[in-house]
Structure 1
Amino acid sequence: MVAAKPGGRTMKQLIGCAVAALSLWATQAAAAGPVVYYVQSAPYTSTIDPTACPVGVCKTYASGQRLSGTITFFGSLDPDLNVQTDDVGHMIDDFQLSDGQNTYTLLNAGIPDPDMVINFANVSTDANGVITAFEFKFDKTNGAPFNVSAVPSNDVQARVATIYFTSVHPAVSVDNNARCLTRHTVSNAPTNTPGAGCLQTTVTPAEGASQAQASAVTMSLTPPSPPAPVPTLSEWAMILLGVLLAGGAALNLHRRRQTA
């Protein structure tokens, strides 16, 4: 056995230090990695349907559909942010959101989509940087030039699909083929497209626009529980058939006992 030199370290101590260093590095690397939040709203309780479709792609929302998907940040957010003042749009790496009719994806083949706009992404966080309150608005445009018209317009460039959701006064509102009335001077989209973000829209059914709203939305680090499946017509038929067969068998048994 070789004695350790004074002030030196044994091989076991060196291995222990190496393991501790690797563990610390792994913890820091995990903390610095992407952070995914899961978004899910309550089912829509209010919808507005288009009554005509003069321009754009017209779609109809259904009660029971909902907003759902994920928002991925580059890493952990700063602690103690305030939803009233702190925008974390620059920290969003990607998002995959569906409003039941439209899919919103920030990255297209790994490149930020210039037609997708992060209007604002305000959050509050706790001491660990975990989101506790939020307010987001994403726009899906038809590309430049980003026209604005104050009167009914057949210009498809003035149309936009939007997602707005917040926990501040819990609400969700999604628009399809709405007409933009007011735009940003400069957008905070990843591509910094001037004027792309829509500040105010009008949803006019005769212009082909539609809307859906819900009264609650969650944003969590854990995936939401899947909604309970609703039986299809064929499944209801099988359930009814099973009940009838069971009832018939019970009735037949009862008659046999009476005649015995």
Structure 2
Amino acid sequence: MKRLAASLVGALGLLATQAMAQPITYYIQSEPYELITNATACPVGVCKAYAPGQRLAGTITFFGPLDPDLNVQTDDVGAMIDDFQLSDGQNTYTLLNSGIPDPNMVINFANVSTDASGVITAFEFKFDKTNGAPFNIATMPSNDLQARVATIYFTSIYPAVSVDNNARCLTRATVSNAPTNTPGAGCIQTTVGPAEGASQAQANAVTMSLTPPSPPAPVPTMSEWAMILLGVLLAGGAAVNLHRRRQTV
């Protein structure tokens, strides 16, 4: 009997450990962009234009539950990120490509606050796409492709969202939080020059939740028959109005 009880306890402990190790996915979605500044020329790099109605959306998956009572001001969980799939409407960001870490993707920082259960209550993230080796502003010209980055920054603190495409990197980080990336690859300061081919979009609100966001409400559209009926009614109304005018003349 004691052996059976010990086996049951061991099995329950194993199940609890496996449950604790299960990946956890958070869903990110911002409001549509409210401020958009697009490139006015494209002298270098890959130029893209943001559009009204686009937004930041996607997922971040952690290896397992986060520690409780973390503080967004001091606690970085970049090493806990298993993968992310984010889109700013023009660029797709993912840590892994077919299971292999993307060498051009950098987690600049991933700070969160959590409650007593380890659930995120506040957050501040910044990712960027680089062109490989760290950029050295002292030795490389600003139009070098390694100086050009696409970045996403979002936080619940303000709240705010800012996404850049083909921005010029001014300052590189000395250490990258992503364990698979080259230290110093992350860009911590950019400048967005529309005449240089850079674009930027901003939103004033963003959510990060364990529950998938509700899809946007579909815009009602009229079927072809409804369009034909509307056209007939309008034509009929115009004919009646014309007939009344003739009678009053």
**TM-score interval, smaller chain:** 0.7 to 0.9
Q: Which residue is 2:241 aligned to?
A: none
Inter-partner Cα distance in structure 1 for 2:35 and 2:224: 31
How many Å apart are 1:20 and its aligned residue?
A: 6.9
1:25 maps to amino acid: L
Inter-partner Cα distance in structure 1 for 2:228 and 2:139: 59
The structure 2 residue matched to 1:124, chosen from 113, 127, 132, is: 113
Inter-partner Cα distance in structure 1 for 2:7 and 2:153: 49
Q: Which residue is 1:107 aligned to?
A: 96
5+ residue gaps in structure 2? 236-249
How many Å apart are 1:21 and its aligned residue?
A: 5.6
Inter-partner Cα distance in structure 1 for 2:200 and 2:207: 20
1:200 and 2:189 correspond: yes
How many Å apart are 1:109 and its aligned residue?
A: 2.2
The answer (yes or no) to whether the contact 1:175–1:209 under 8 Å persists in 2 is: yes
The answer (yes or no) to whether the contact 1:152–1:207 under 8 Å persists in 2 is: no
1:46 and 2:35 correspond: yes
Inter-partner Cα distance in structure 1 for 2:139 and 2:86: 30
Secondary structure of the corresponding residue to residue 44 of structure 2: coil
Secondary structure of the corresponding residue to residue 39 of structure 1: strand
The structure 2 residue matched to 1:186, chosen from 169, 172, 175, is: 175
Q: Which residue is 2:238 aligned to?
A: none
Secondary structure of the corresponding residue to residue 19 of structure 2: helix
Alignment deviations for residues 210-242 of structure 1 (CA, whole Å, 9 cap, x no partner): 00000000000111111112356xx46554445
How many Å apart are 1:98 and its aligned residue?
A: 0.3
244 and 125 in structure 1: CA distance in 2 versus 1, 3 angstrom threshold: same
The structure 1 residue matched to 2:26, chosen from 20, 27, 37, is: 37
Is 138-147 or 104-113 further displaced after alignment?
138-147
66 and 33 in structure 1: CA distance in 2 versus 1, 3 angstrom threshold: same
TM-score, normalised relative to structure 1: 0.82
TM-score, normalised relative to structure 2: 0.85
209 and 167 in structure 1: CA distance in 2 versus 1, 3 angstrom threshold: same
| Identical columns (%) | 74
The answer (yes or no) to whether the contact 1:65–1:99 under 8 Å persists in 2 is: yes
1:60 and 2:49 correspond: yes
Q: Which residue is 2:164 aligned to?
A: 175
1:138 and 2:127 correspond: yes
Larger Rg: 1
5+ residue gaps in structure 1? 1-7, 249-260
Q: Give the aligned CA root-mean-square deviation in angstroms.
A: 2.8
Inter-partner Cα distance in structure 1 for 2:115 and 2:45: 42
Q: Which residue is 2:14 aligned to?
A: 25
Secondary structure of the corresponding residue to residue 77 of structure 1: coil
Q: Which residue is 1:216 aligned to?
A: 205
How many Å apart are 1:206 and its aligned residue?
A: 0.3
The answer (yes or no) to whether the contact 2:134–2:172 under 8 Å persists in 1 is: no
